[in-house]
């Protein structure tokens, strides 16, 4: 086929897929530029349309008029758990297993120490070589703090490592989705392999939450954390979440015993007695305005299941591959994201030695994406609002810029 025929066929397919899309209405739930393509949900999701008015109301009425009483009368005190449950629905957690607050970095530290304390006789933290910076730094720091060693192996070798050396591993700490390539790891299989060796697992869901069905309860995950400002669109610096399996909740001994996680926070006891259940995952005073923004942002997920969202996402990433095969491969440009549908998540990654320059040029053409060293371009295809036509435009623009 000639280039123009290929382009025409892809445009027809994109139009058909968009026409059949039963979730197309979700796009109206976001403020999005008309002529530009936003593919940076890998870092910051866009603003849901209902958030500004809810924030204005919260500030004027709850803070402005309700003042201190709003902690109880406006439901601020219960927000970490209430919003946690709302996130929980999207990560397969029953109510009472997820709490929201602080940053992912803080939650990782807390959860990793708490997880390691469940296996005091074991000396190793196991992790993939591909860890995101903050996860890597926290893993190393927790190891130093607790006198453990860190063993890092390639993701594909983790199962074998669990089989061979698992009896000395306290915790497997892993990201559900690789921040570079967008590869969705086998959370269910690795959690099973970890449990078979008596290992506790801690998953960082930052690049998977709101994109994929991760099924935390179904897969019996021990601990999970994640950020809410990417696909969950909670806003810049939105609070992170912590999930704790019901069977661990009463045994959790977290290293940041803040007063809001105390069983009787207002009794002002000298000794820390943790609250029951997920409330012991609370630390200090939560950032209420950010939490309320997140609470309303999550309404963008109302009325759809995470399975429907996952299927829509796979359609977008699958179409990206189709376009890449036709348009990028002939230019010698490789896709770094795995092809198998179950191994793809929210973003597609493309390799090119001039990634930085290409991303800069794409911005000038109205395509917003990001890059990660040394040579990766990342295109976050948010499953709530990206369209197949946008996917084709992105790939076409990459082709033109490179040419
Ligand atoms: C896997 C992963 N974990 C954690 C974070 C972020 O942690 P924090 O929100 O504390 O900066 C990111 C992105 O910044 C990430 O990609
Ligand atoms: N958290 C971010 C921020 O505050 C500014 C810019 C980017 C980010 C990110 O989330 C980076 C991201 N975790 C990554 O995968 O590279």
3 state SS for 40-94: CCCCCCCCECCHHHHHHHHHHHHHHHHHHHHHHHCCCCCHHHHHHHHHHHHCCCC
- Our mutation pick for probing the ligand 1 site, out of 227, 238, 380, counting the most ligand atoms within 8 A of Cβ, is 227
Kindly give the number of the ligand 2 atom that is closest to the alpha carbon of 370.
Answer: 16
**Phi, psi dihedral angles at 163 (to 5 degrees):** -65, -45
Write the CA distances from 108 to 139, 204, 256, 395, integer angstroms: 9, 8, 12, 35
Does the pLDDT value for residue 251 go beyond 90?
yes
Ligand 1 centroid to 153 CA: how many Å?
21
Q: What is the pLDDT of residues 256-286, one digit of tens each?
A: 999 999 999 999 999 999 999 999 999 999 9
Does the pLDDT value for residue 28 go beyond 90?
yes
pLDDT on residue 151: 98
pLDDT on residue 3: 81
Ligand 2 centroid to 44 CA: how many Å?
7
- Our mutation pick for probing the ligand 2 site, out of 39, 40, 44, 380, counting the most ligand atoms within 8 A of Cβ, is 44
Find tokens 């970890």 and name the residue: 194
Q: What is the pLDDT of residues 300-356, one digit of tens each?
A: 999 999 999 999 999 999 999 999 999 999 998 999 999 999 999 999 999 999 999
356 vs 360: CA distance, rounded Å: 6
Q: What is the pLDDT of residues 61-120, one digit of tens each?
A: 999 999 999 999 999 999 999 999 999 999 999 999 999 999 999 999 999 999 999 999
Residues in the chain, overall count: 403
Residues with CB under 6 A from ligand 1: 103-105, 132, 134-135, 175, 179, 204, 206-207, 227
DSSP 8-class letter at 200: E
381 vs 366: CA distance, rounded Å: 15
228 vs 87: CA distance, rounded Å: 9
pLDDT on residue 153: 98
Question: Exposed, middle or buried: residue 268 (CB in 10 Å: 0-12, 13-18, 19+)?
Answer: exposed
At 117, list the tokens. 């304390």
282 vs 348: CA distance, rounded Å: 35
Does the pLDDT value for residue 2 go beyond 80?
no
- Which residue has the least CA distance to atom 7 on ligand 1? 104
Does the pLDDT value for residue 158 go beyond 80?
yes
């Amino acid at each position: 086929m000639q280039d123009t025929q290929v382009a025409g066929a892809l445009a027809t397919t994109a139009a058909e897929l968009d026409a059949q899309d039963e979730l197309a209405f979700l796009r109206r739930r976001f403020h999005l530029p008309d002529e530009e393509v936003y593919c940076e949900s890998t870092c910051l999701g866009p603003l849901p349309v209902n958030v500004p008015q809810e924030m204005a109301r919260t500030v004027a009425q709850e803070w402005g008029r309700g003042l201190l009483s709003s902690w109880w009368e406006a439901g601020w005190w219960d927000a970490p758990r209430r919003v946690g449950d709302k996130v929980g629905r999207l990560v397969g957690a029953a109510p009472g297993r997820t709490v929201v607050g602080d940053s992912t970095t803080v939650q990782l530290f807390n959860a990793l120490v708490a997880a390691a304390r469940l296996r005091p006789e074991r000396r190793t933290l196991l992790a993939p070589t591909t860890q995101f910076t903050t996860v890597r730094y926290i893993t190393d720091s927790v190891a130093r703090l607790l006198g453990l060693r860190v063993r890092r192996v390639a993701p594909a070798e983790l199962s074998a490592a669990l089989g061979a050396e698992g009896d000395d591993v306290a915790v497997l700490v892993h990201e559900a989705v690789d921040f570079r390539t967008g590869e969705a790891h086998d959370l269910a299989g690795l959690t099973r392999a970890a449990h078979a060796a008596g290992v506790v697992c801690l998953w960082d869901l930052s690049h998977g939450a709101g994109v994929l069905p991760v099924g935390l309860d179904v897969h019996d995950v021990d601990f999970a954390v994640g950020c809410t400002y990417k696909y969950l669109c909670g806003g810049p610096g939105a609070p992170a979440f912590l999930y704790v399996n019901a069977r661990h909740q009463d045994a959790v001994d977290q290293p940041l015993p803040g007063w809001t996680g105390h069983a009787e926070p207002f009794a002002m006891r000298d000794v820390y007695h943790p609250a029951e259940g997920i409330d012991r995952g609370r630390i200090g005073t939560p950032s209420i305005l950010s939490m309320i923004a997140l609470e309303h942002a999550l309404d963008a997920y109302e009325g759809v299941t995470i399975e429907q969202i996952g299927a829509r996402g796979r359609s977008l990433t699958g179409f990206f591959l189709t376009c890449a095969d036709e348009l990028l491969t002939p230019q010698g440009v490789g896709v770094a994201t795995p092809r198998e549908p179950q191994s793809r998540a929210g973003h597609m990654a493309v390799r090119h030695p001039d990634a930085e320059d290409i991303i800069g040029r794409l911005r000038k053409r109205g395509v917003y994406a990001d890059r990660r060293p040394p040579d990766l371009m990342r295109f976050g295809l948010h499953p709530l609002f990206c369209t197949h036509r946008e996917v084709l435009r992105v790939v076409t623009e990459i082709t033109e810029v490179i040419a």
